[in-house]
Amino acid sequence: MSFKHANNEKVIPKVHFENEDGRILVGNSLTSYEVGDYETDVVLGASFAGAPTGQVPLRQGCKAWIAHEAGPGKDESGIAGLPLADSFGVPAVAISTKTADLSDGQSLLLGTVSRANNAATALGVRPGITGEEAAHLLLKAPRGIKRDVTGLVDEDTYTLGKGKTGNIYACWSFSRVTEEHPKDVFVVASHGAKIMAIYALSINPKGMICNDAGLGKNNSGIEGLAILDEHGIGAATVSTDSARIGDALSTYYDGVISAVNKTAAALGVEVGQSAREAARRLLGEDISDERPDTRS
């Protein structure tokens, strides 16, 4: 079984502003910046500001980044990327959960800053200003360099249960999977917004569970569930307060279901259920439980 990085053609960032200090780029996800050089750029991505997402622009050399607070949820995992960025001296900022949409980079510009790491605070970023104001302040950051983030984030995909015809897998994001899996259920530790659905449709799983990211503005954190419903894919989210966003195993072992689509409901998935039970119902067959088994 092969698990690799999916391409990002559908989430290409756009230039919002440019001057002698550099560019402000806006993308619908921090995974928009998987490929490219961003040494003079402040990058915005409307995914959660966690460690798995926050490592992406660091690896590609951005001078600063802005993302969504996503709760910040259990153990403040929704903003775990801020101290990670600080360890490299890179400014990073989170936009307040209810003031911006997940999967909508433009919404981050209008949202309100809730958290800033030490490097961003040194440039004048503070809670209460807009994402747009923060981005312009961050343009004064030193030119970025590509950082070695090897081993800082769990990129593995785990096999958590095997059935006769399908399996239950867990990974932090669908962006890490390329092959179609029509017989399998995926537990992913990213949010449930539109970008998640775009990635999921290219994989075509039998079912999936992800994180509601604190719902976000306009309930955007679960917007992808309805999209998957249109394709007959059972989908649910766990509460960001129950499981660490960005942590696939926490999603499966700690997660409590917070929202379901109609397809999942018809299979017996309910709000308040454990993610483990929901995954079994989505698979629709008995499984052999085992210790997490990585596949790469």
Residue boundaries of the structural domains of the chain: 9-138, 157-295
Question: Which pLDDT belongs to residue 175?
Answer: 84
Question: Which pLDDT belongs to residue 290?
Answer: 59
Question: Which pLDDT belongs to residue 219?
Answer: 98
Q: Cis peptide leading into 182, omega within 30 of 0?
A: no
Question: Which pLDDT belongs to residue 94?
Answer: 98
Question: Which pLDDT belongs to residue 9?
Answer: 42
* Contact (CB, 8 A) for 115 and 128: no
Please tell me the pTM assigned to this model: 0.93
Question: Which pLDDT belongs to residue 74?
Answer: 98
CA distance 210 to 173: 9
Query: Is residue 288 classed as helix, strand or coil in its secondary structure?
Result: strand
Across the chain, which has 296 residues, the per-10-residue mean pLDDT values are: 43 92 97 94 98 97 98 98 98 98 97 98 98 98 97 92 95 88 96 94 96 98 97 98 97 97 98 97 85 52
Question: Which pLDDT belongs to residue 1?
Answer: 38
CA distance 7 to 29: 13
Query: Is residue 112 classed as helix, strand or coil in its secondary structure?
Result: strand
CA distance 2 to 176: 10
Question: Which pLDDT belongs to residue 295?
Answer: 45
pLDDT in tens, 155-211: 899 999 999 999 999 999 988 888 899 999 999 999 999 999 999 999 999 999 999
β partners of residue 195: none
Candidates 10, 7, 34, 36; CA nearest to 23 is: 36
